Chains A and B, each alone.
Chain A
Amino acid sequence: MGVAQMATELTIPSDLGEARRVQELIADALQTNGYTEHDTFAIKLALEEALVNAIKHGNQMDSDKRVVVVFHVTPERFDIRITDEGTGFNPEDVPDPTAIENLERPCGRGLLLMRGFMTEVEYHGRGNVVTMAKVREIAS
């Protein structure tokens, strides 16, 4: 991902309030770069899901564990890498929440929404690192 230059790196504790602060910071950067409200919503939602996953499922809300966020915004695209200190997971093991038998299950939709709202979503290593990208839509 293109985060070599001018990327912003933040390390936050396993605290959902801190995650919201990161979201606001990124929303400001998107606005500065002229992203539409639609794209900003999509990125904020994917961020919410990914950060909640990292803090809750990855770090198990452990206050001693950190989440590292590296993001890069250009007027063309948004890139982000989120790393937690958890044991990771295999995304292929997550049941398809859109399958008829799973439709009424109350959880397991975060990953699906990340994939639905972002252009690229990829897990790395043991599954504790996720990279996401969104190619900016041109406002009509």
Chain B
Amino acid sequence: MANQPSRKRRLEVEDIGDIAVVNFVDKKILDEQNIQMIGDDLFRLVDELGRRKVLLNFGNVEFMSSAALGKLITLHRKLQAVQGKLILCKIAKDILDVFKITKLDKILSITADEQSGLQSFS
């Protein structure tokens, strides 16, 4: 489990092999400032820490608005640019509707649970 003690942690990152499994600390991903910091932390995984396989686990997330979607798209693009891969998993049914309505389920890979998410990298 990676720790970032110097600032409020918004993400918990666990390394499973070469896959960075990311859990969101917040149940609600809403405020612009908060989303900005989540985005920065996610981009750092790719840009500075060189991670190429990222699995975002939404199991803890109960509410999320369109403001967060832009960060996910940017992360997806960043990983694509370095031949990496982004997978999202364990998205609550209501939040899954957000991805379906916006048709982002067509460009982002989404799996039901973490196990199938991990297997999707191989």
Contact = CB atoms under 8 A, between A and B. Distances in A.
B112 interface: no
Contacts of B31: 16
Contact of B101 (A44, A48, A105, A116): A116
B103 A98 contact: yes
A106 interface: yes
B122 to A, nearest CB: 26
Interface residues of A, number: 24
A105 B72 CA distance: 11
Interface of A: 16, 20, 37-38, 41-42, 44-45, 48-49, 52, 97-98, 103-107, 109-110, 112-113, 116-117
Contact of B106 (A48, A103, A107): A103
Interface stretch (B13-21, B51-59, B62-70, B83-91): B62-70
Interface in B61-103: 63, 65-67, 69-71, 73-74, 76-77, 93-94, 97-98, 101-103
Interface of B: 30-32, 63, 65-67, 69-71, 73-74, 76-77, 93-94, 97-98, 101-104, 106-107
Main SS at interface, chain B: helix
Interface centre among B74, B93, B102 (most CB of A within 10 A): B102
Given A16-B31, A103-B107, A109 B63 contact: no
Contacts of B103: 98, 103
Given A103-B103, A103-B107, A49 B66 contact: yes
A44 B64 CA distance: 10
